[in-house]
Structure 1
C-alpha cells in the first residue's frame, strides 16, 4: 500500500488477531476516524503522536497489554466520541489528560487498569457522556458533586474504586434523571447502609449493584421508591432483619440477589408475589451503554432483559418452611435458598417451576422425600440438595441421572445408585428399630424354633423306638 493511501485511511479495525508490538507510526494516519485494535497482544504505551490524529472519533485498545501514563496529547483529539482502554495495565494518575477539551466524548471505559489518585474533576465537564466506567482501579476518596453535570449519563460503574461515604454518594447520584445502570460494589467497606435518604431521582434506574461492601443495617426503604428497578444486587454485606413486605411493589424486579448477609425471619409471601417472576414476560427494553458480563455464564449482555430471572437468598439465617406459593414464580431460571435454617419438606409446588435451570436447597434442615415430579424440570442443569435430612429413594430418571453424587451427599437416609446407600439394603432402611425390642423378638424366635425342633426330635425318637421294640 503506497503512502498516499495510508494517509487517506479512515477506518482501521483489526480486533482479536493476536497482533503484537507497540503502537508506532500512528501519526501518519492523520485522516483516521476509527482505530480498533482491541483484543490483541499490543504492549507499550500510547504515544504522544496520537495527538496528530485529530479526526479520531473511536479509539478501541481494550484487552491488550499496554501500560504507562495516558499522554497529554490525547486532549488534542477533540472529536473523540468513544475511548475504550479497559483491561490493560495503564497506570499513574489521569491528570495529564485535559478532558475539558473532549467535549464530544460519550463513552469512557477504563475498567481494570491501575490508575491511581482521585477521579479528575475535568471528566465531569464532558457533558455528553452517556457511559462512564472506572471500575477496578485503585482510585480513592469521595465522589465529587460535579458528577451532577453529566445530565445524559445513563451507565455509571465505580465498583472497586476504594470510595468512601456511601450516604453522600447515594445522595449525590439520586438526583440523576438519566441513570439506568449503577455499579457501586466493593466500596464503602464496613460503613452503614443509608436508610433515610431523600430520593428525588433514580426514576429510570433499572440495575443497581451495592454488593460486597460489608455494609451493616437493613434493606433500606428508599429502594421501594425506584419504580423501574429490574435487577438488585446486595450480596456480600452484613445486612440484618427481614425481607421487607414492599418488595412485591417493585413490579419490574426480576433478578434479586441478597445472599451472604445476616437476614432473618421467614421467606415472606410478598416475595412470592413479584409480577416479573410470576410470568415469562421480559423487562422493559433498555440497552446497556457498555457491555456487561454475567459471571455465571461468561456471556456478554447489552440489555438487562437478557439476564436470567433469579432469586438468590443463600447464606442467610432464614427460618421456617419453603412457602408453597413458591410455585407461582414460574418465570424463575435460578433459585438458590442454600445455607439457611429452612425446615419442613420440599414443597411439591416447586415442581411447577418448569423454566428452572438451577435449584440449590443445600445446607438446610429439610426433611421428607424428594418430590418425584422434579423429573419434569427438563431444563434443570444444576441441582443441589446436599446436607439436609432428606430420606427415601433418589429419582434416577430424566435430569436426575445427570447430577453428580455431591448433589445428594450429607443426607444419610437417602438411597439410590448415586449414593453409598443402595435402596433395599439394611443401611438404607428408613425404619428405626428399638434395640431392646429387637433383642426380645430375636429371643422369641429362637425359643419358638427350639421348641419346634425339640418336639419333632421327640416324635422321631418315639417312632424309631417303636419300630425296634414295639
Structure 2
C-alpha cells in the first residue's frame, strides 16, 4: 500500500511539473495579427514563433497563473512602427494591461481598446497616433489608467460618460481643441485622481464643474489657450496636491481665503498668465507647498512675511512681475529645502542674507550691479576665487565675505596667490548643516533705471 501511494504521489508531481497548459489559440492568433500589422516589429518575430507557447517564451507577454490566457502585453520603447490592427489586441479577452508607449505607432487608436471589458491600464503615450478619440460604448468599463499623451490626437475631447473606474487620465501634448472635458468626465469618474490636459489647444474658461472631481490630486492644464479667472469652486478641492495652469491667459487676483483651503497643495504653478494683485498672506498656511511658480504675470506688492512659514518650499519663481519692497521681510533662511529662488525683473530693495549656506563657486562679476542692495551677507560659505572689485561690491565690508577660506581680495586683506585650494573646516562650518550651489543671473530694466535680479539657488545633499 505504501509503495502504491508513493508511486501515485510521484506521478502527480511529474504531471504538475509538465507543461500541460499553454496560451489559447485565439490569444496567439490575436497577437500574431498585431505583429503582422507592424511595418517594423523591433525584433519581436524572433520570439513570437507560432510553434512556441506565447505564455512562456514570447517577449513582452504575460499570462495568468494557469498560463492559459494573456493578461499583459508590455512593449515600451521597442522601436515598433505601423498601425494597431483593430481586431488584434482588442480580442485578448483577459488583457488587463497594455503598454505600447515610446514607439512609433501611427493611425487611429482602435475604439475596441477604449471600450475593452477587461483592460485596467492602457498606455500608448509617445507615439504618432492621430485622428479623433472614439466615444465609449461599454457601460461601466473597468479602465483605471489611460495615458494617451504625446501623440497627434485632435478635435474635441469625446464625452466619455462610462469611465466609472477611471483614476488617471493623461491626455497632454496633443492637439485637442474646444472646452476642457469637465462636467461629463467628473460626473462619470468620481474616483479620478489625476487629470493632465497640458500642451493642447483647449480654449474658453476653466469650468467650475471640475470641482465635481472631489478625489482629484493632480490637475494640470498648462500651455493651452484658457482665459478668464480660476473658479472659486476649484479651491474647494481640498485633496488637490498639484494645481498647474501655466502659460494660458488666466487673470484675476489670488484670493487669500480660498487659497488657504488647499492645505494639501504641493505645487502651485500659475506662471505665464495675467494674474495681478498681491500674494496673499494666507499662503503661509500651505505647509506642504514645495513649488510656488507665479513668474511672468502682472503681480505686485510686497512679498508676504508668511512665505517664510512655507518651510517645505524647494522652488520660488516670481520672475518678471512688479513685486517690490524689502527682501528682508521674508526669512529665507527658514526655508531649509529651498533649491531655486528666481526674482528676475522685479523692484526689490533691502538686504539679502545668504550666510551659512555653504554656497560654492566664484562670486559673479554681475553682483557689482546689484545697486538696490543695502547689504549682502554671503559669509560662512565655501565660495572661492577673487572678490569682484568696484561698483556695488566696494560698499560691502569684509564681514560680508568672512568665513570663506578660499576667497581672496583686498577687502579681506589677502592676495589670491596666498589662498590655498584646500577647504578648511571651521567652527562656523559645523554649525551650518546645508550645502547649496550658488548661481546668479541678471537682467536690467532701463525704464526707471532700477536693476532687477534673478537669484537661483541649487541645493544638493552630499
CA pair 354-100 structure 1, distance change in 2 beyond 3 A = closer
Deviation (angstroms), 1:113: 0.9
- Contact 2:208–2:234 (8 Å) recurs in 1: no
- Between structure 1 and structure 2, the one with the greater Rg is 1
For residue 233 of structure 2, what is the aligned residue in structure 1? 246
The one of 186, 206, 210 aligned to 1:219: 206
Q: Distance in 2 between matches of 1:212 and 1:133?
A: 18
For residue 154 of structure 1, what is the aligned residue in structure 2? 144
1:378-422 C-alpha deviation (Å, 9 max, x unpaired): 111222112211112221224484699699999651363779732
Q: Distance in 2 between matches of 1:406 and 1:59?
A: 61
Q: Distance in 2 between matches of 1:267 and 1:356?
A: 19
For residue 25 of structure 1, what is the aligned residue in structure 2? none
Q: What TM-score do the two structures reach when normalised by structure 1?
A: 0.65
- Contact 1:89–1:113 (8 Å) recurs in 2: yes
Q: Distance in 2 between matches of 1:237 and 1:409?
A: 40
What is the Cα-based RMSD across aligned positions, in Å? 3.5
For residue 308 of structure 2, what is the aligned residue in structure 1? 351
Q: Distance in 1 between matches of 2:190 and 2:78?
A: 35
The one of 338, 346, 349 aligned to 1:380: 338
CA pair 361-408 structure 1, distance change in 2 beyond 3 A = farther
For residue 440 of structure 2, what is the aligned residue in structure 1? none
Q: Distance in 2 between matches of 1:176 and 1:9?
A: 39
The one of 229, 237, 242 aligned to 2:216: 229
1:324-367 C-alpha deviation (Å, 9 max, x unpaired): 11101111111111111111111110000011111112221111
Q: Distance in 2 between matches of 1:154 and 1:208?
A: 12
1:165-214 C-alpha deviation (Å, 9 max, x unpaired): 334x2x12x43110000011122345343576585311000000011113
Deviation (angstroms), 1:217: 0.7
Q: What TM-score do the two structures reach when normalised by structure 2?
A: 0.66
Deviation (angstroms), 1:254: 1.0
1:416 aligns with 2:376: yes
CA pair 317-105 structure 1, distance change in 2 beyond 3 A = same
For residue 396 of structure 1, what is the aligned residue in structure 2? 354
Single out whichever of 371-380 and 329-338 deviates more from structure 2: 371-380
1:312 aligns with 2:282: no
Q: Which has the higher contact order (CA 8 A, sep 6+)?
A: 2
Deviation (angstroms), 1:271: 4.4
Q: Distance in 2 between matches of 1:48 and 1:193?
A: 43
1:51-74 C-alpha deviation (Å, 9 max, x unpaired): 434351796659xxxxxxxxxxxx
- Contact 2:219–2:243 (8 Å) recurs in 1: yes
Q: What are the ranges of 5 or more consecutive residues in structure 1 without an aligned counterpart?
A: 1-6, 11-29, 31-41, 63-76, 279-308, 426-470
1:96-127 C-alpha deviation (Å, 9 max, x unpaired): 86224411211001112111111124435642
For residue 341 of structure 1, what is the aligned residue in structure 2? 298
SS at match of 1:123: helix
SS at match of 2:164: coil
- Aligned residue pairs total 343
Which is strand-richer, 1 or 2?
Answer: 2
Q: Distance in 1 between matches of 2:116 and 2:182?
A: 32
SS at match of 1:319: strand
For residue 253 of structure 2, what is the aligned residue in structure 1? 266
- Contact 1:206–1:230 (8 Å) recurs in 2: yes
